[in-house]
Structures are given as structure tokens and as C-alpha cells.
A and B are shown apart, each in its own frame.
Chain A
């Protein structure tokens, strides 16, 4: 069947539900949030509807077509330059008057337009009655009611859009701008009559020239006789401004608001008894001048505690699962490098990262609740006072909060900032916000060195430190490299929504799945590389002959057994005394049983003593010799274990990873870090989770086969670590440069390696100084 291709542009104010409608039409799952600025670049999707192949373009939200911020420019350029077949202007029915301002400007472009009255249910709940028919008649374009959240009205909207596109009616639409401005518009339109290549409605271009729109001035200037028209417009602008006593842009905006106000008064009826909405009542508490900020901090503290307490259980199950998998492979594969790669490299590395999936998913679920409910916008409002005090823009806080999830969309989110200086500063400080990739590092180190009661608070302190450093550095940038006036903070407070479970799970999955994807790609690849670096070269010149040392230990044990046990009993070998052999075997069983129980954290000393006493009563003559034999054997086993550990330690230290770590160690030694930490910090520049997988691989390769466990347990057993060093290490991880993906996006968004380089250099310096202060300050305080 033949199909017609049509392009539909979805335009509208920020947070009016464009992306929800885009998802409803295309079946895509683009991120949706209950705050302005979620979409910062255009997104495209397709849909076959009623025999037409539709290309749907979701544009960033914009309040007007005189673009100031980058995201607004993207929307405006598409509407104006790419001329879609139909523009679907999504209007938030619960905020219709303000949304109509953009609608009027779109209508002035004289393109086929359909208006979607979205969130019609919210408007109804607010007691707002809208006369759609009258709105249609007044504006001369179709109006369709939609409810994005329940996918209601989508088909009707598409049908209306197709009809409008195919009729291609370019009906003139004009707002009356008063006699002074209208006279100048007429002059400029008349001047355009001599110009053959005008692609846009002449009246629209005349208004834009009077509004001093730089893009339109440039465009007209390139036309034949264009410079004359630009000069005419400039003179007219000055003349009208003098006459009216205000800037002409302000006067034009005033007339538009007047038009919109009059239109709204005709089509809308409001039930005044519902004038204070539930959102207003909630806001009176959550955005309160005094208690608002403590409530915000309390919510963040609760989120991190929830992540730790709730996430600990599934994490233990996953740890046990990976240990079981490692044990199965260990038992079923022949010894060799391939087995070590699978068990120590891949399971030890990737497994240690995957075991934090529950915490990551819980964090994203909590962030999704804050986003979908509309609280994120309030957080920005609350932080505005703090941000403004240090010279930053309140709106910067939204990208910063997004940075808790991932720095990449956070830096892109800074496109919502109108002022380039604010935008640049926000991009440069975003990496200090603790992204979710750092969470596994915090979880491992807090689980190893801090009690479960304080784990959430320790991590909360790191998140707060990140915010404080970001704000202080932003203040420094704003006073030096990016000095300038602070612009007023204007941001729409979206109404509170009760998030649906489906939407929360969808948001959690869309971000959490990226973590899983990373584990299966870059983290897997880096774990394999780290295993090679830790395991090779396989031939090492040891400081001593460990095999000979083990033989000497064994020989010393046998000599001691002969002199202390065999000679006094008058026998040549243990087998010569069956009673002694039985007692040794029984004591061994008891020691093993209680050693396992002790590993599991059970204290059963009295029970053990009772069992040993029973053996003593059964074999009173030989029991002291059997007990002494067991002591000697344990001493020998410990000595051989120590030799094994020393040998493996020397082997890893001589490995390529060890050499890299030792090369880097002098730089981090003043912070209390050893070569293993240095190596893992270096590897984690690829992605922060790789710090955990690298430590997992280093410790797994360095451990005995029966001694591997969760990476936090192996870290806790390493004397190189203390709680103070662990905290300094976490601070270093928080503040040192972000992953390669974030660095790449920073370069794209700042458009220069100069600023990216400055960010990398400053974050290394700040991380080093902060870790140094914490380590040495902590030592001075006796930690």
C-alpha cells in the first residue's frame, strides 16, 4: 500500500507533556520528568497511522519563539527552518493562559497547526472549564483534548494533524500591536514587497525585526536589499521605543499577553473555591523559607539510608550467588590461566560490580519518585537562595541533581540555562555531584569499614561534600573566569503528581539497565584487561626461594612432632598408636566445625570446650599429645599460608598492574593510599565502577582459592586499609575526574578541550587536597 510521509513537530512549553505524547504516538520510551528541561534536543520517532508514514519530532520546551536558551533555539530553528508539515502545539490545559502565548507566536508563522489541550483531567480537577469550540473558532485551528498520562485522545490528535497537514491551509493570523507598532509593521512589510526570496510570512518577519531578533536580522540581511530593510527596522524600533517610552520588544510582548488574556477570559471559567490547589498546600510546607531546606536534606538522607538498608539483603544474595558460581567453576575446571581469568578476573571483577545492582536500582527508583512527583523543581527553588548567595543560578541545581544519576545527561541538561556563563559554570561543576557509578565504590568501602548503622550517613556526607565543593568552585568560577551579573530565577513549579508504579519502574529500568549494559561491556573488558595486568608476567624473581622455605617449615614441624610426641610415647610414627590417631582426628573435626561457625559469626566457645573435654575423657592418656600435635600443625599451616601470601603478594607486586601501581603510588602515598588503590583509581577513569572490579580482581588473584569472598570482606582483611583511609579514598573518588564518557560530553558541551582540561586538572588537585586534609586531619584527631 502506498504511504504518504508527513512530518509532525510537537511543540509546547516546558513540562506540558510533549514527551509523554511523543511516547504515546511512537511507542518509544523517552525519558519523561515532572520538571522543565527534560528534553534538551529534538528527538524523532515514526508511526504508521491511517496509511500515512508519520515522522514525529519531539522538540524541547520553549516559552516563546524568541529563543534565548540553547534548547529553545533547537525548537525554534526546527519550526522555522525545517518547516514540518504540521505543528502540534501541546498546551497544558491547567496553565492554559501562559501556554497560549507560545501558541499565538506559532500561529503567526501561518503554518498548519493543531492545538492539543493536554492534561485536561488536571484542569478539570482544578475546577477549570474550557470551551474548546470557542477556542477553535477564535484561533481558526483544530483543538483536540488529550490526557498524556492515560494515552487518551492520541488517535484523534493524529487524525486532526494529518487533516491539517494535508489541507496545508496557511491561514493569516495577526495579533494587533497597537497603532504605532502596526504602522511600522506596515512599512516594513511594504519594503519586503521588492524582495523575491522571502520564505516566511512577511508580517512575521516584520514583527521579528522590530523585536530585534538576531537570527531574523541576519537572515534578512543576507537577502537582496535586505540591509535596507534591517536599517528601516532599526530606525522604526528606535522611533517606537522613544514614542512609547519602553523597549519595543516589551511593548510587543505586552500586546500578545493582552490578546492571550482576553482570549483566555472568553474561553475559560474557573471555580474559585478550588483556587488553592493541593500542590499549593503541599508547597506551603515543602518550599517553606525555614523548614524547606532541612526537609530537602532529610529526604536525601532518607534516600541514601533506604538504598543501604534495603539494598543490603539482595546484595548478600547476589554475593553468595557469585561465590557459588566461582566455586562451581573452580571445582569443575582444570587449574590454569583460563580458569583464573574466569574465576578471578570475570567473576571477581564483573561479579563484584553486579552485586550492587540492587542499590543502584533502589537509588534510581527513589530519584524517579522525586522527579515524577514534581519535587525536583522545588529542590531547585529551595537551593536558589544558596546558589544565588554564591553567585550561581538557581536553575543550575536541576542539572546538578540529575548528576546524582549520571553526569552525561546532567551536563546536557545545562542547556536549559539561558546565560552562557551560568551554563559553562554548571557544566564544569556537575562532575562533583556524586553519580550513581560511584555508589558501588562507597558501598564496598562502607560495608568493609563502617557499621551498617552509619553507612547511609557516611555516604550522605559524601553527597553533601560533592554539593558543597561544586557550589564553592562555581562561586570561584563565577567571580573569576565567568564574572557577570546573576540573572533572575524564573522557573515554573509543576503541579505535584502521584507517580504511577509503571512509570517509576520504567524510569528505574531505563537508567538501571545502562548500569547492567556497562557491566556487560566496558566493565567486562576492563576486568579482563586488569586480570592480564595482574597475572602477567608469570615468571617472577622472588626475593627468596618460597618452595624451599615451605619444605623447611614442613621439616621443622616433623622434627618437633618427633621430639615432643613420638619419642615420649615410644613410637616411630603416629600410626603406631591408634588411640592417638583417633584423638587427633576428632580434635581436627571439632576445630574445623567451630572454625566454620566462627567464620559465620557464631560464638560457640563453651560448646567447643565441652566437645574437646569429651575427647579428653575418652582418651585421657594420649589427649595432651594429640592436642599438642594439633597446635603444632596449626602453626605449620599458618606459616605455610603466610609464605603463600607473601609469594602471591610479591608476584602481584611484580605484575604489570603492580608496576603501574608502584609507579603511581608516590603521588598518592601522602593520602595513605597504597599501590592497589592507585591502580584501581587509575583504571576507574574509564568508568567509576571499575574501581570495584579492579580491586575485586587484584584481591581475588592474590587470595587462596578457598579464601575468596565478597570484595568488601577481602578489603576488610587488608591491613593497608583503615576506616580513615577508606573515607579519604571515597572522597578522592568523589572529587577526581569523571569517567571518559562524561569527559567526552563535557568537551562537546563546552566546545573546547581548554575548559575540559581545566576541569580535569582542577578536580585532580581538589581531590588530592581534600583527601590529604581528611587523612592527616583524621590522624591528628586520633582516628
Chain B
């Protein structure tokens, strides 16, 4: 059981890091919201407006 939990945690962490790298390298070029990605209806939330 402990092994299963460890494997799941490890795979989740690996997946998250891989996703972060992938999005950094292949992210859309136009929408960079800097330090304020959560403002209402900002371009980062409103992807179709990019």
C-alpha cells in the first residue's frame, strides 16, 4: 500500500513538473499577465481573446 501511495505521489509530481516545462516552452506567446493573472476577466483567464 505504501509503495502504491509513493508511486502515485511521485508520478503526480513528475507530471506537474513536466507540464510546467512544456507550458513554459510551448505556451501561447501573446498573453503574459505577469504578477496579476487573477484579475477579473483578464486575458489569462479569457484565452479565446488572445
Contacts and interface: CB of A to CB of B under 8 A. Distances in A.
Interface of A: 26-31, 41-46, 55, 336-338, 341, 405-406, 408-409, 412, 510-511, 514, 521-522, 524-526, 528-529, 532, 686, 740-741, 743-745, 747-748
Contacts of A741: 24
A26 B13 contact: no
A691 to B, nearest CB: 15
Given A29-B36, A510-B36, A745-B32, A44 B42 contact: yes
B18 to A, nearest CB: 10
B16 A31 contact: no
Q: At the interface, is chain B mostly helix, strand, loop or mixed?
A: helix
B40 A26 contact: yes
Contact of A45 (B9, B27, B41): B41
B32 A44 contact: no
A30 B16 contact: no
- Give 8 nearest A-B pairs by CB, closest first: A28-B39, A744-B24, A528-B13, A409-B34, A525-B13, A525-B16, A45-B40, A740-B24
Interface string B15-34: 01100110011010100111
B2 interface: yes
B19 to A, nearest CB: 9
A529 B12 CA distance: 10
Contacts of A31: 34-36
B36 A744 contact: no
Contacts of A29: 36, 39
Contacts of A42: 43
Contacts of A28: 36, 39-40, 42
B16 A744 contact: no
Contacts of A409: 34-35
Given A408-B35, A522-B16, A532-B10, 14 more contacts: A28-B39, A28-B42, A43-B33, A43-B36, A44-B46, A338-B2, A341-B6, A408-B34, A522-B17, A529-B10, A529-B14, A740-B24, A744-B24, A744-B25
Given A30-B36, A741-B24, A338 B5 contact: yes
Nearest to A44: B41
Contacts of A406: 35
Interface of B: 2-3, 5-6, 9-10, 12-14, 16-17, 20-21, 24-25, 27, 29, 32-36, 39-43, 46, 49
A46 B41 contact: yes
A630 to B, nearest CB: 40
Given A30-B39, A44-B46, A45-B40, A525 B17 contact: yes
A372 to B, nearest CB: 15
A529 B42 contact: no
Given A43-B42, A528-B13, A743-B24, A510 B6 contact: no
A740 B17 CA distance: 11
B35 A686 contact: no
Contacts of B29: 748
Contacts of A526: 13, 17
Given A408-B32, A525-B16, A337 B2 contact: yes
B25 to A, nearest CB: 6
Contact of B16 (A44, A45, A521, A745): A521
Given A337-B2, A511-B35, A44 B21 contact: no
B39 A43 contact: yes
A191 B39 CA distance: 47
Contacts of A510: 35-36
Secondary structure class of chain A's binding surface, majority of residues: helix
Nearest to B5: A338
A521 B23 CA distance: 14
A688 to B, nearest CB: 15
A528 B9 CA distance: 8
Contacts of A514: 35
A526 B17 CA distance: 7
Contacts of B17: 522, 525-526, 529, 686
Nearest to B44: A43
16 contacts: A26-B40, A31-B35, A44-B42, A44-B46, A55-B41, A337-B6, A341-B6, A408-B32, A408-B34, A511-B35, A521-B16, A525-B16, A528-B9, A686-B20, A744-B24, A744-B25
A27 B10 CA distance: 40
B20 A336 contact: no
- Which of B29, B41, B49 has its CB near the most chain A CB atoms (within 10 A)? B41
Nearest to B32: A412
B40 to A, nearest CB: 5
A91 to B, nearest CB: 24
A743 B14 CA distance: 20
Given A337-B2, A528-B9, A46 B32 contact: no
B17 to A, nearest CB: 5
A341 B9 contact: yes
B10 A748 contact: no
A452 B29 CA distance: 44
Contacts of A41: 32, 43
B49 A44 contact: yes
B39 A338 contact: no
Contacts of B33: 43
Looking at A525, A528, A748, the one whose CB has the most chain B CB atoms below 10 A away is A525
Contacts of B12: 525
Contacts of A341: 6, 9
A740 B20 contact: yes
A740 B26 CA distance: 12
Given A525-B16, A686-B20, A744 B10 contact: no
A176 B14 CA distance: 66
A540 to B, nearest CB: 18
A325 to B, nearest CB: 18
A405 B35 CA distance: 10
A149 to B, nearest CB: 19
B33 to A, nearest CB: 8
Contacts of B24: 740-741, 743-744
Contacts of A744: 24-25, 27
A522 B20 contact: yes
A41 B39 CA distance: 14
A714 B42 CA distance: 44
A740 B42 contact: no
B36 to A, nearest CB: 5
B29 to A, nearest CB: 5
